[in-house]
Structure 1
Amino acid sequence: MKTYMFKRILATSILTCGLFACSSLIDVKPRTAIDSSTALVSQDAINAAVNAVYDALQSTDLYGRDLIAIPEVLADNGRATNNSSRLVAEYQNQPGAHLINWTQDYYGINQANLVLAALPKVTMTDAQRNSYMGQCLFLRALMYFDLMKSYAYMPTAIINEYNRGGVPLILPGVLTLEQVEYPSRPGIDAVYTQILADLTMAVDKLGATANSRGPVYATKGAAQALYSRVALYAGKWQEAADFSTSALASGVGAFQTKANYVAGWRTAINPESMFELNFQVNENIGVNTSLQTTFTTLRELGNTATTGGFGDVVPTAALLADLELEKDAAGTVLDIRRQLYELGTKGRGAQNVETTKFLGKNGTINLDNVPVIRISEMYLNRAEAYYNLGKVAEALKDLNTIRTRSGLPEKTGLSGDGLLNEIIRQRRLELAFEGHRFWDLKRLGRDIIKLPTNLPFTDYRVLARIPISEINNNRNLKQNYNY
């Protein structure tokens, strides 16, 4: 990747966003700037602009840290150590301490919208146009989905008296103040309908895009995988099952065996990734807020003598106990995923067991590619969907695929709540410290049981606070309850 600067045009709107900021782009002739008035009139510029949408996701507010770390600490997987004072308020579920992805996500959405509007006007082959369109639709769907997770209830679990709807749907790109709109919040279902429509078209447009380009680009397989996740959250069980099956057959991501699963977390690109954000050396987030420094004090595996990061978020005792629950006759922990957690250093204070899923895999401290969707999730999505469809045998088979790969014995005879709870338990263990736990509990309408205090699902703090500046700028926008 090379670095390019697009001229940024700001609009004081609900989006509070402009055209393009500094971005790392692929296969574009080097240039120091592209004038905003002519930025999207060539294939080179379109290519650069599409890559800028990917780069928008690298923000610390998004997948650079918060969308991975905060859902763990808001829930019962992560405990804030107070080594740097970061994420302590989120761990305590203090009012207003939540995700703050509103501005960055709408900024990225605006970039995608501008590209989508420009594509019909630029000379290129149909295959190229379809690829760019599919990528932007995939990315727009992902960003709208992340906004909905943070600021709205999910279709499967709603507190009606607190429900203020979804998030504003803005599909045209904004370049000037005259183009700014001030929309209200549509219903939750309307936003999910748009997200799934984007993904449906993305699957179609990416059909000719080689899946071998994955996982650092959107592919048909990645779009099918994201559709599976969104459908699961929406309670569309058959669609969740069907798209999980399609994603598993896509050739994007390789399901790992028991023997090589842990090693997959030591490579720059996780072999299980179906969509992964790629970070280059010049995009290192650094020692304060990178995922490595957030999750561990270690610089390298097994070396407790040299301190690197802060280890701001470590696994709770409850998560570790769950990982260690199943043992053999000699008392040895069976679950190989426990190997992804080890003792950190004393350099920041108390010595804690920490996760090593992010440990400078790109060869540089604090620099990691970030898996957004892994193939293991597809088995868990489909298992839960099958459970809700009454297909117990099929659900149990997918559940056991994850269990046996993890070194655990097969479960037999499970049904009803016992089966569902084991599926959710395996989601917790498999996807821990990847940004899933809070959303799983939220979509199931479950209370969060943890120290220092529990968070009932009926508590208004389950939803994030919309930025005050957006409420002040847009009279049609309703704030979430009690903020």
Structure 2
Amino acid sequence: MRTLKSIILSTSLLTVSLLAVTACKNSEFLEVTPRSQGDSQIALTTAEGVDAAVNGIYDRLQNVVLYGRDMLAVSEALSDNAQFTNKSGRLANENRNIQNNTFGTATAAGATWQSAYFAINQANLILDNIGGVAFADTAQRNRLQGQAYFLRALLYHDLSRIYAYDPGVAVATQDRGGVPLLLVGVADQSKITLPARPAVADVYKQIYADLQSSIASFSRTNANAPAYGNRQAAQALFSRVALYNKDYATAVKYATDAIAGTIKLSPNASYVGGWRAPQNPESLFEIQYIVAENIGVNTSLQTTYTTLVRTGDRTATGGFGDLVPTTAFINDLEAEKSATGTVLDIRRQLYELGTAGRGAAFIECTKFLGRNGTINLDNIPVIRVSELYLNRAEANYNLGNTTEALADLNVIRQRCGLPASTVTGAPLLAEIMRQERLEFGFEGHRWFDLKRTGQNVVKAAAQGGGLVYTDNRILAPIPVNELSTNKSIQQNFGY
């Protein structure tokens, strides 16, 4: 994806989830192509070093425990959208909501927490040092600075929605606060701190500040979209964050700002085709891969979601198809039909019968089907334009602006081949939430949408029967290594 990469090759054990570089002489912060070595302070004294360090954060987002798989697939497994097939055994425990089987825990204990905080520390080091670096032009400095703020905001929001209650729906007797805020880079062990968990409101305050700084740093051209953070993506993320925060006026403002940007909603005729292109034309921000970064047949999104190698061909078996749509999800996609019985919703075309090469065939999600032309190699949309309309619809509904909410709902419905709706009152909100579920099926939204709205997770008995919202498993456990090192942090209730 990128020619410059920043990685950590020698680190101490994770302490307070900081990226603590060891004091040994051969410690490296950067691996640059062509190869260049040095500690973090040396690496971040040049424009090339800062650029490499920013690229390193994107590389971390590619990890299986972040956007390579878990931020999407584990969310679907935990929610009511998906059922496990047991063809490899992967994600079965997550789908049953078994204690301690959640984000990153099946791959490595605490891996999601650790990977996210490593990336946050890289952003912190960039922001600490960028002011003293000479750049060829101000635009480059601003672009890299905007990306560091944008990525830190994204990561803190992801950590918060995994490990903490969302604003307005906390279970008071079980609430242990947000996630630790680390805002100064750690380049050596002397900089390690042991912070407690702040209030969730303080975490959101920091995310707001980062997004405001990001938007102010970016130009209006979106020249790097969607492979890199950009102004339109930062506005869109702000609309998402504000919706979680129940700050509906802010959610409307930033959704509106982002809708006015250069990347637009795909029309009906090209929507399905957009999922077959290497880069989804609706993507405001996506994680992009090159062939050498292929996650492979065990844990890529393609192998997780489907046995198919290519759409329409059931003669060739590729992946495992570990996680497939529930019957209820498919029935909902097929609920609206023409007078002759034809399914109206074009999104149904993104789900088709898989192969029998690894056992019984299921209807599978084909949003990720080696779209880069190589099996198991897919760019991952993190934020798409359609989210803006549904964010704004939900926010406007909660503000009492039901006419505006219905108008945005119908933008999505009609794009998908459905007739305009005329619902009002509570059914309007229910239809907005339904469209959020169908539009973002298998893109990692559903678990978080249920959680941020305080809803129970309803599942069949074979999937563990679901969870009531007050169940402790709504939150992931804080990693044990973190607790053993930092005595200021409280474990989440029930673990």
TM-score (norm 1): 0.96
Aligned to 1:332: 342
Deviation at 1:2, TM superposition (A): 2.7
Aligned to 2:109: none
State whether structure 2 residue 147 is matched by structure 1 residue 135: yes
Aligned to 1:168: 180
The residue matched to 1:213 in structure 2 has which SS? coil
Distance in 2 (CA, whole Å) between partners of 1:81 and 1:356 is 16
Deviation at 1:108, TM superposition (A): 0.3
Q: 1:91 aligns with which of 86, 89, 95?
A: 95
Contact 1:231 1:237 in 2 (8 A): yes
Tell me how large the CA RMSD over aligned residues is.
1.7
- What do residues 381-422 of structure 1 show as CA deviations (whole Å, max 9, x unaligned)? 00000000100100000000000110101111x222100000
Alignment of 1:355-394 (within 5 A): 355-394=365-404
Alignment of 1:450-465 (within 5 A): 450-452=459-461, 453-465=465-477
Distance in 2 (CA, whole Å) between partners of 1:85 and 1:34 is 42
Deviation at 1:442, TM superposition (A): 0.6
Aligned to 2:237: 226
- What do residues 140-168 of structure 1 show as CA deviations (whole Å, max 9, x unaligned)? 00000000010000003111111000000
**Paired amino acid for 2:317:** T
- What do residues 175-221 of structure 1 show as CA deviations (whole Å, max 9, x unaligned)? 11111111000001000110011001100011x26313201111110
Q: 1:243 aligns with which of 245, 248, 254?
A: 254
Distance in 2 (CA, whole Å) between partners of 1:77 and 1:24 is 40
Provide structure 2 residue ranges, at least 5 long, that are not aligned to the other structure.
105-111
Deviation at 1:73, TM superposition (A): 0.9
- What do residues 259-311 of structure 1 show as CA deviations (whole Å, max 9, x unaligned)? 11000000000000000111111100000000000000000111111100010
State whether structure 2 residue 245 is matched by structure 1 residue 266: no
Distance in 2 (CA, whole Å) between partners of 1:366 and 1:433 is 16
- What do residues 439-466 of structure 1 show as CA deviations (whole Å, max 9, x unaligned)? 1011111111112202111111000011
Distance in 1 (CA, whole Å) between partners of 2:29 and 2:65 is 16
Deviation at 1:6, TM superposition (A): 4.6
Deviation at 1:11, TM superposition (A): 3.5
Contact 2:12 2:21 in 1 (8 A): no
Alignment of 1:181-220 (within 5 A): 181-206=193-218, 208=219, 210-220=221-231
The residue matched to 1:373 in structure 2 has which SS? strand
Distance in 1 (CA, whole Å) between partners of 2:52 and 2:21 is 12
Distance in 2 (CA, whole Å) between partners of 1:95 and 1:37 is 42
Deviation at 1:31, TM superposition (A): 2.0
Deviation at 1:127, TM superposition (A): 2.2
**Paired amino acid for 1:15:** S
Q: 2:131 aligns with which of 102, 108, 120?
A: 120
Check 1:6–1:342 CA distance in 2 against 1; reply closer, same or farther (3 A cut).
closer
Deviation at 1:107, TM superposition (A): 0.6
Distance in 1 (CA, whole Å) between partners of 2:434 and 2:223 is 32
Aligned to 1:294: 304
State whether structure 2 residue 42 is matched by structure 1 residue 41: no
Deviation at 1:7, TM superposition (A): 5.3
Aligned to 2:108: none
Aligned to 1:64: 68
Provide structure 1 residue ranges, at least 5 long, that are not aligned to the other structure.
none
Distance in 2 (CA, whole Å) between partners of 1:467 and 1:383 is 37
Give identity over the alignment, percent.
Answer: 50
Deviation at 1:32, TM superposition (A): 5.0
Aligned to 1:352: 362
Deviation at 1:38, TM superposition (A): 1.5
Q: 2:491 aligns with which of 475, 479, 482?
A: 479
Contact 2:214 2:234 in 1 (8 A): yes
Contact 1:3 1:24 in 2 (8 A): no
TM-score (norm 2): 0.94
Alignment of 1:100-111 (within 5 A): 100=104, 101-111=112-122
Distance in 2 (CA, whole Å) between partners of 1:8 and 1:286 is 22
Distance in 2 (CA, whole Å) between partners of 1:437 and 1:36 is 38
State whether structure 2 residue 16 is matched by structure 1 residue 14: yes
Aligned to 1:419: 428
Aligned to 1:410: 420
